[in-house]
Structure 1
Amino acid sequence: MTRVLNYIDAHLDQPLELAQLADVANFSRFHFHRIFHAWMGETLGDYLRRRRLEKAAFRLSCGPVESVLETALATGFGSGEAFARAFKTKFGCTPTEWRRDTPQRLAAQAPGRHSNPDQLLGNPDQAGQPLMRDDDVSNNTTGNLTMEVVITDLPAIRVAYFRHIGPYGPGITSFWRTVVAPWMQSRGLDAPLCIGIGYDDPSMTPADKCRYDACVALPEDFTDTGAADVTTLPGGRYARAAFTGQPAGIADAWTWMTRNWLPSSGLQCDDRPCLEIFRPETAVDPVTGAMRCDLCIPVRPL
């Protein structure tokens, strides 16, 4: 099923038929629709429509370069009219209004609302801002929050991953502890690089549908993955900030990066995933309970 969901996201601009996806999953074509509904809690058609519209909303929020029709075609809609009708039904506004209101929507998001967000929405009013160079650092403060943001290039990395579907928050910590950590110990991976990826924005995606991948970097010669799936995370340019604080504060840090830092950076995020990078042995202070990780947003020029 994870292969199917990944395949869908990589091919949202193309027709996706039940038989085709059943073959990706190696499931019976006759039973696949029933299995998908039982696993995901929604029909295949409803899932495809929701993911296409959520992806379109993200693309529209990234800036004015792409036309509404181009967004419609890039997310699998056959016409701009069909896309506009479906978009307004789901979000209550036209695609043009959604794009126009992105800055106000981000400003209205309450701190602490997001944990492990999707690539949260570039600002279409960034034109004319200077671009940051390699290793440029921005020191920013909002209230008690101070973070340094560095623009850096990350390499592609091969990982084993387990997927969690459900609300972000405490359930993610439990997932790492009860599912991922025992797997790491059984494979002798004592201190690997770990990466958390939240793919969905809870302001658009129902909490029980939010997807999160718990990823563990693999040595080059590692083959015994057992129950884990394997993929290669794309490298490229990222805005990277070190977070240290109580776990509840990480949502505020993500909100600050996307709502405060990004609009003034002269950059916008692209459709690679946001990352939380950490090492298990240093991720949590055993005395204070403070969490330490790097928050990474994929960026590109406007």
Structure 2
Amino acid sequence: MKTALTHYHARMQRVLEHIDQHLDDDLDLETLSRVAVWSKFHFHRQFSATFGLTVHRYIQLTRMKRASYQLAYRSEQSVTDVALDAGYDAPDAFARAFRQQVGQAPSVFRNGADWASWFAAFEPLNNARSKLMTRTFTLDDVTLREEPATPVAIMKHRGDPAMFGATLQRFIAWRKANGLHPRHHATFNVWRSEKSPADPADYDVDLCVGIDPHQQTVQREGERIERGAIPGGRCAVLRVVGHTDDLEPAALFLYRTWLPASGETLRDFPIYCRRLSFFPEVAEHEAVAELFLPLE
């Protein structure tokens, strides 16, 4: 039974990976059932039973999530280009589908996203992926590195995780206005709370960009930007590839598995990550982040 279940999960995971890698292709039922090595009828029924979504709905949500990121964080892309990327021949058809899913027209979302509604709209997709696409790490995946101190400019997010997208949108706009491109200025997140605190108001994360220590950080109207530093020192480093919006499994592995086995002692600084490539500039399964656990 255990072998059969493992084989079943491997088939389904292969399908999700195929969708990730071919999101712009014609992902019809016949193609995906061949990937799963099942009949179309059996595959459709099993996919829905496993993930709580039809395969068509899963693909639609995945494409719409990418479109929402492009609208919110890539202002240089026109709504028409975003619609074409999402597989729609006409902007009007895309606008209707986007409004039905997110509750706002694409142009309205771009200029003033309702992030709480967005968070709820894509929760079924996140829940579907969490049923099967669990990351596994080994002790050998962790390396020890001596990291230099890095001066940073900080925009703080304090409050409901569902509203993190609004802070991120402002952070991207601020760094663009100040010429702090990710290619030349490293991007960090520092977590000062758990991912899902009992009270959402306690969620606490810093969005940071590396700066020259002598650089003047320009305040943008309505924004508070602080100067700080990622302190140097020894760190346990875990590289994560794909779907880097959820780094909690990697963080839990470092704390629960790697740290007790290592005999190391934590330094007095929170766990943090450096984002090396970003969705939607790259496909979601190609985004890369490094997670750092500061050590004595």
TM-score bracket for the superposition, by shorter chain length:
0.3 to 0.5
The answer to which structure has the higher strand fraction is 1
Larger Rg: 2
TM-score if structure 1 supplies the norm length?
0.47
Q: TM-score w.r.t. structure 2 length?
A: 0.47
